[in-house]
Chain A
Amino acid sequence: MKIYFDGGSWCYGSELLNRDESRFSKIVCNKLGAEEYNISQPGGSNAMMERHLLVDHKNIKEFDLVIIQMVYPDRNEYYDRYKKKFEANANFGGRTSLVTPREKIMVFDKPEAIDLTKKAWLDYYKYIYEDEYGLAYEEMHATAIKSYCKCNNVPLILGTMKKKKRFQSCKTKYDLYFNDPDNRVPRASNNHPNEEGHAIHAQMILNYIDGLSL
C-alpha cells in the first residue's frame, strides 16, 4: 500500500524534532503498513497541491490513497525564473513580515527589506486580491483535485487548515478540519502541531479511513 500526502507546513511536520518519524503521515503509514509519500511544503498553496497532483505526477494510479491537507485560500505560487522552480509566495518574509491579506499592515512595516518580487506580491494583496476571489479559487482547486482522483479511481481524503465555523458559508466541503477550534491540538512554539498534535491528527485520519471501504 502506498499513500500520497500533500499540504503545507502542518503536513510537512514543521517544528517537529524528528519530522520524518513523528509527522502524522508517517504515523498513519506505520499503522497501516503503508509506504509514505509526502511532498508537502511549508508555505505551500492550494495551487501548488493541484499542480503536484495534475501535472507533476504522471501516474497517480500507483497510489492506493491520496490525502491532501489544503491551506488558506490566499496563498499562491509563481515560477522563479532564476531558481527554475515554483516558489510559494507566502511566508517569504519570515515571521516579521508574513504576508496574507489579513495582515496587510505588515506590508508597510519594512519596505526596504523586501525585493521587487516580494514587493509585487505585496501589491497583489494590497490592490488585487479579494476574499471573494480566494473562495472561488479554493473551490476550483478542491473540485479539480476531487475530480482528478475520482477520474483515476484513487480514493481521496481532502482536509483543510481552515476553521470550520469561520467558513461555514463556504461552498467547499472537506472530509477533515485539522484546525477546528473545537478540537485544537497541542502546539509547538510557532503554532504548528507538536508530536502529540500529530498523533491526534493521525488518529483522526485513521478513524476516517476506517469508514472508507478501501
Chain B
Amino acid sequence: MKIYFDGCSWTKGEELENQEEERYSKLICDELGAEETNLAIKGGSNDRIVRNLLVENHIEEYDLAVIQMTFPVRTEYYMIRKGEYYDKCWRRVNPSNNYSRWLHGLDGDIRKLGEKFSDHSDFWKYWYMNITNKKFFDVKEKIHYETIKSYCANKGVPLIICSINTWSKLKFDFVLTTDKNTKCKMGHPNKLGHQIIAKAMLDKI
C-alpha cells in the first residue's frame, strides 16, 4: 500500500524534534503498513499542491491521497536566475499568517509585509496590497478544492482532504487546529498533535 501526502509545514512536520518519524503521515503509514510519500514543504501553497498532483506526479500509483490544503494567499512562481550562478526553480511566496488575519479584518500586523519575500519584494508587496483581495483568494481556494476532488475521483484514488485554513467555508474532511496542549512554539502541531491527527485520519480510513 502506498499513500500520497502533500501540504505545507503542518504535514512536513515542522517543529517536531524528529519529523520523519513523528509526523502524522508516518504514524498513519506505520499503522497501516504502508509506504509513505510526503511531498509537503514549509510555506507551500495550494498552487504547488495542485501542480504536484496534476503535473508532477502519478496519483494513480497510490492507494490513498491525503491532501492538506493551506492558506490560499500563498502562491508560487518559476524563477530563472541568469548570470554567474544560473539556477531555475519553483519559488514559494508566503505573505505570512498576519496578512491572512489582516485580510479577514483581524489584528494582523502587515507593516513588515515586504520583508516576507526573498525576491521581488516590492512587486509582491504591491501585489498583495493592491491587486489581490479576499474574494480572489476565496475563489482560488474553491477552484483548487474542486480540482483536487475531481482529479482524485477520476483516477479512482480515495482522498482525504483537509485544511489549516479555519476561515474557509469549504467542506473538508478535517480542519486541522491545535490548542495549548498540542502545539509547538510557532503554532505547528507537537508530537501529541500529530498523534491526534493520525488517529482521526485512521478512524476515517
Contact = CB atoms under 8 A, between A and B. Distances in A.
A160 B54 CA distance: 19
B32 interface: no
Contacts, number: 89
Nearest to B155: A147
Contacts of A152: 150
A127 B142 contact: no
B118 interface: no
A137 to B, nearest CB: 8
B78 A130 contact: yes
A143 B123 contact: no
Interface in A125-148: 127-130, 132-133, 136-137, 139-140, 143-144, 147-148
Contacts of B62: none
Interface string A102-146: 000000000000001100110110011110110011011001100
Interface string A50-75: 11001100000000000000000000
A151 B153 CA distance: 7
B135 A79 contact: yes
B39 interface: no
Nearest to B136: A79
B106 interface: no
Interface size class of B (residues with CB under 8 A): 20 to 34
A165 interface: no
A144 B131 contact: no
Interface size class of A (residues with CB under 8 A): 20 to 34
Contact of A120 (B78, B131, B139): B131
A139 B154 CA distance: 16
Contacts of B166: none
Contact of B55 (A54, A55, A139): A139
A166 interface: no
Given A51-B143, A140-B50, A151-B154, A120 B126 contact: yes
Interface string B74-86: 0001111000000
B54 A143 contact: yes
20 contacts: A50-B147, A51-B139, A51-B143, A55-B142, A78-B131, A79-B132, A86-B139, A120-B130, A124-B127, A128-B77, A133-B78, A140-B54, A143-B55, A144-B54, A144-B143, A144-B150, A144-B151, A147-B153, A148-B147, A151-B154
Given A54-B147, A140-B50, 16 more contacts: A55-B139, A78-B132, A78-B136, A79-B133, A79-B136, A79-B139, A120-B131, A121-B131, A123-B126, A132-B88, A140-B54, A140-B147, A144-B143, A147-B153, A148-B146, A151-B154
Interface pairs A-B: 4 shortest CB-CB: A79-B136, A133-B78, A151-B150, A144-B147
